[in-house]
C-alpha cells in the first residue's frame, strides 16, 4: 500500500558543523545551540526586567541588573546537572548503571526537563541565600524565560529525530529515520510508518504558547507585582502541556513490553499513564496551588 499525505523527515544533521583537530573532533550540535541561545535570551530578558522597577512590588526590582550574569552561571550548572541526573534516574537507570562513563556524554542528548527544573530550583535557592534575593521574585523572572529554552530544545529534538510520537495516519505524520521509528504494529495499514511529530507539538505548547501567555501576564497585566503568580502559571502550564502531549508521544523503550505496548507505568481508572505524565501531575497540582495562594494573598 502507499503512504498518502505523510511527510518524509528532511535531510537534517544533528551537527551544525564539525572541526577535525587530529586526535580530537569538535562539533557544534543543534541541541547544544538550543541551550546556548536559550541561556543568552533568558539572561537578556531577565536583565531587562531588572531595569524596570515599576514591574515589581513596591516599584523595586529584586536585584541589580549587573547581578544577572552571576545568576546565569548558577542556572547553567543547575540545568545541566539536574537535567542529566534526572534523565539517568527517571528513564534509563539500568543502562547507565551498566555504562556509567556515558553519563558525562551530555552532548549526545538525554536530558530530563523535570530533573533540570529541580536543578534550577536548588541552584536558584542557593543564589538567593548567598545574595539576599527574594526567592519568589527571582523564580518569576526565571519562569518567564524558561519556555524559550524549552521550545528551542524541542525543535532540536526534532532535528535529532528523537522523542517522536506514536504511529499515525494523519496527514502531518512524519516518517522518521531509523529502525525503531519504522517499527510499527504488524497490522499497520501503510507501507511506511508515519509518527506524530510530538517534538513540534511540545515546542508549540511548552514553548511559544506558554511564553506568550507569561509575557502577556507580565507586561500587560502586571503579575510580577504578585510574587509567585508567574511561577505558578509556568509550572502548571508546562505540566498541563506535557501531560496532554504525552497521549501522542512514544513511550521510552525501557517501559514498553509485549503486554504493555504503550509503555504505561501507572493506571488511573480506564487511563494508562506514562512516566512523563506521572512526573507532570505533581507539577500541575503544585503550580495551581502556588497560583491560588499568591493571587489570594
- ∠ CA 113-120-33, rounded to 5°: 60
Query: Cβ contacts of residue 177 below 8 Å, gap of 6+?
Result: 9, 161
Cα→Cα distances 46→39, 75, 232, Å: 11, 12, 18
Contact 7, 165 (CB under 8 A): no
Annotated binding site: 154
In 3D space, the residue among 244, 254, 234 whose CA is nearest the CA of residue 277 turns out to be 244
Contact 171, 5 (CB under 8 A): yes
For residue 294, the surrounding DSSP H or E stretch is: helix 275-296
For residue 16, the surrounding DSSP H or E stretch is: strand 15-20
Question: What residues does 195 pair with on adjacent strands?
Answer: 167, 174
Contact 141, 49 (CB under 8 A): yes
Q: Give me 80's grid cell.
A: 545541566
In 3D space, the residue among 156, 167, 145 whose CA is nearest the CA of residue 107 turns out to be 156
In 3D space, the residue among 117, 39, 52 whose CA is nearest the CA of residue 85 turns out to be 117
Spatial separation of the C-alpha atoms in residues 238 and 240, rounded to whole Å:
5
Pairing of strands 174-175, 25-29: unpaired
Q: Give me 258's grid cell.
A: 509485549
What is the phi/psi pair of residue 260, to 5°? -140, 70
Amino acid at each position: 500500500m502507499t503512504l498518502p499525505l505523510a511527510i518524509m523527515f528532511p535531510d537534517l544533521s544533528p551537527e551544525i558543523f564539525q572541526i577535525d583537530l587530529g586526535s580530537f573532533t569538535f562539533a557544534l550540535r543543534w541541541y547544544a545551540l538550543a541551550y546556548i541561545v536559550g541561556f543568552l535570551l533568558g539572561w537578556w530578558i531577565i536583565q531587562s526586567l531588572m531595569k524596570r522597577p515599576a514591574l515589581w512590588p513596591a516599584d523595586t526590582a529584586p536585584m541589580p541588573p549587573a547581578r544577572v550574569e552571576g545568576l546565569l552561571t548558577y542556572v547553567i550548572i543547575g540545568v545541566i546537572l539536574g537535567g542529566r541526573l534526572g534523565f539517568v534516574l527517571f528513564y534509563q537507570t539500568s543502562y547507565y548503571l551498566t555504562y556509567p562513563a556515558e553519563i558525562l556524554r551530555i552532548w549526545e542528548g538525554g536530558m530530563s526537563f523535570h530533573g533540570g527544573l529541580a536543578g534550577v530550583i536548588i541552584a536558584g535557592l542557593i543564589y538567593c541565600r548567598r545574595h539576599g534575593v527574594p526567592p519568589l521574585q527571582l523564580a518569576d523572572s526565571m519562569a518567564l524565560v524558561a519556555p524559550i529554552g524549552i521550545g528551542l530544545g524541542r525543535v532540536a529534538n526534532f532535528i535529532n529525530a528523537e522523542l517522536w510520537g506514536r504511529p499515525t495516519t494523519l496527514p502531518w505524520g512524519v516518517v522518521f529515520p531509523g529502525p525503531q521509528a519504522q517499527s510499527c504494529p504488524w497490522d499497520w495499514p501503510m507501507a511506511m510508518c508515519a509518527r506524530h511529530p510530538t517534538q513540534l507539538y511540545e515546542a508549540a505548547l511548552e514553548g511559544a504558547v506558554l511564553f506568550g501567555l507569561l509575557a502577556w501576564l507580565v507586561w500587560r497585566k502586571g503579575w510580577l507585582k504578585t510574587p509567585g503568580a508567574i511561577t505558578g502559571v509556568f509550572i502548571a502550564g508546562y505540566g498541563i502541556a506535557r501531560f496532554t502531549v504525552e497521549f501522542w508521544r512514544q513511550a521510552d523503550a525501557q517501559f514498553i513490553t509485549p503486554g504493555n505496548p504503550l509503555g504505561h507505568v501507572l493506571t488511573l481508572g480506564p487511563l494508562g499513564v506514562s512516566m512523563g505524565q506521572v512526573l507532570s501531575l505533581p507539577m500541575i497540582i503544585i503550580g495551581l496551588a502556588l497560583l491560588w495562594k499568591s493571587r489570594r494573598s
